[in-house]
Structures are given as structure tokens and as C-alpha cells.
Amino acid sequence: MRELARLLNDMQAAGVIENYAVFGAMAQMRYTEAVATLDADVLVAVASPERMDVLAEVYEFCARRGFRAEGEAIRVGAWPVQFVPVFSPLTREAMEQADTADFEGIPLRVVRADHLAVIALSVGRAKDYARILALLESLSVTRDEIARLAARHGLSEAWRRFEARFADD
Amino acid sequence: MTEIPERLKKQAQWQKSRRDLSWPEKVRLAEAIRDSLESLRRSRSGANAPRQVRRS
């Protein structure tokens, strides 16, 4: 992950990406206990979003640094990394408002717990619901915070259904 | 039966101690979990592979 942190910061400094933030399971672990995952997910805002292949410059930058493609991911150190262009106002906001954490001496941008929970709510698979419950249990986010953010992104109904199914006392 | 509350308490403490690890420590733990799962998956697929029948 230190290698990934360096790569992302260099990529941003070189102007290949405008911004980035780690999300998904890797980000979740900042707030909860460790979870099983096969890869690291990174939200990116690319400098040239009008290109047909929006991630071409990202992959080219990685290749120049000696990081090779592995299926749909790029292997960076111990982890295959999935670069995901921001795909909604919610994911753009999550990336822009991410925290800058210290990962063993290297700054690494990571999505906040409330955004992680609401992104999980918007995706809505079983493992995403488990993520919301884990974040709530770790007290890194409250139900009110999720409700407010969900409302701003048109997800109030999804949150109401989640609460009725999983979180009602 | 009386030991169950004590066991649950210990389990909760163990879970809390895992949550209190630093982020890099948890990432390393996730790496170990992933490697174990991949190793288990490989050994299972080997065990389930069709046996070769030796023809004489």
C-alpha cells in the first residue's frame, strides 16, 4: 500500500489524474476491523475525461513505472488495484472530500466513513449492506449522518428500506 | 452454559483489539487473509480435480 500511495501521489503531481481517493474494502478497514478483499479500489478524476479510454493515461503512467496489468487491475506491490473513474455526483463528492491519512509516513487520500456507507447503500449488494453495518458498529458514522448524506443524493428511500430491514431496534 | 457470557465477552474484546489496530496493520492482516483464501482455493481445486485413470 505504501507503493500505491507513492504511485497515486506521483500520478496526481504529474497531472495524469486531478484527484484520487481509496474506497471500497481497503478504505473500510481504516474504520472497522480487517476484512477479506482481493483488491484495492481507487476513485480517480482523470485529467482528460473526454478520451474514449478514460484510463489510458493512468495505465500508461503505471506501465512506465513498471506496474503491469493483471486482468482489469494493475498489480502494485502486494495488491491488484482497480482504478474507477468517478461515476456519479456522490462518488465525485466522496473523492473531493476524502481525508488525507498517513500511511506509514506517506499521505494517502481515503474516502470518509459516511461517504463509504452511502456509496455502499447506492450499490446495494449483500456485501455492501454488511459494510454499512460494520461502519455503524465501529461508531465511525451514525445513522443520522448516513440519513442526511443519503437524502442529499436521492437515496432516502434506499436508506429507509435498509433501516427497516437491518437497523431497526 | 455458565461460561458462555464469559466467552462472548472475550470474543468482543478480541474483536475490539482487532479494530484498534492501525490501518497499515489491518491492511497487512487483509493481505494474509487473502493469501490464505487463495491457498485454500488452490488446494480445494486440486482435491476436486478429476482423477486420472491409468489404462494398462
Q: What is the CATH number of the domain that holds A61?
A: 3.30.460.40
Give me the pLDDT at residue B42, please: 87
A35 and A52 share one domain:
yes
- Residues A104-131 have pLDDT tens digits of 999 999 999 999 999 999 999 999 999 9
A80 and A152 share one domain:
no
Q: Are B30 and A36 within 8 A, CB to CB?
A: yes
Q: For residue A126, what are the domain limits?
A: 115-167
- B42: distance to nearest CA of chain A, Å? 15
Q: Does B26 touch chain A (CB under 8 A)?
A: yes
A82 and A139 share one domain:
no
A84 and A134 share one domain:
no
Q: Does B40 touch chain A (CB under 8 A)?
A: no
- Residues A8-53 have pLDDT tens digits of 999 999 999 999 999 999 999 999 999 999 999 999 998 776 776 8
Burial label for A54, CB within 10 Å (0-12, 13-18, 19+), is middle
| pTM attached to this predicted model | 0.85
A94 and A134 share one domain:
no
- Residues A55-112 have pLDDT tens digits of 899 999 999 999 999 888 999 999 999 999 999 999 999 999 999 999 999 999 999 9
Alpha helices in A54-169 (DSSP H): 56-64, 89-96, 113-123, 126-137, 143-152, 156-162
CA distance A112 to A31: 9
A68 and A141 share one domain:
no
Please identify, among A111, A129, A156, the residue that sits at the C-terminal boundary of a domain.
A111
A58 and A122 share one domain:
no
Look at A29 and B24 and tell me if their CB atoms are within 8 Å: no
Q: Are A97 and A115 within 8 A, CB to CB?
A: yes
A80 and A162 share one domain:
no
ipTM field: 0.85
- Residues A135-158 have pLDDT tens digits of 999 999 999 999 999 999 999 999
Give me the pLDDT at residue B23, please: 94
Beta strand A73-76 pairing with A106-110? unpaired
- Residues B7-55 have pLDDT tens digits of 888 887 877 777 789 999 999 999 999 989 888 888 887 766 555 545 4
In three-state secondary structure terms, A155 is coil
SS (H, E, C) A105-136: CEEEEECCHHHHHHHHHHHCCHHHHHHHHHHH
Grid coordinates of A84: 474507477
Number of domains in chain A: 2
- B47: distance to nearest CA of chain A, Å? 23
A95 and A135 share one domain:
no
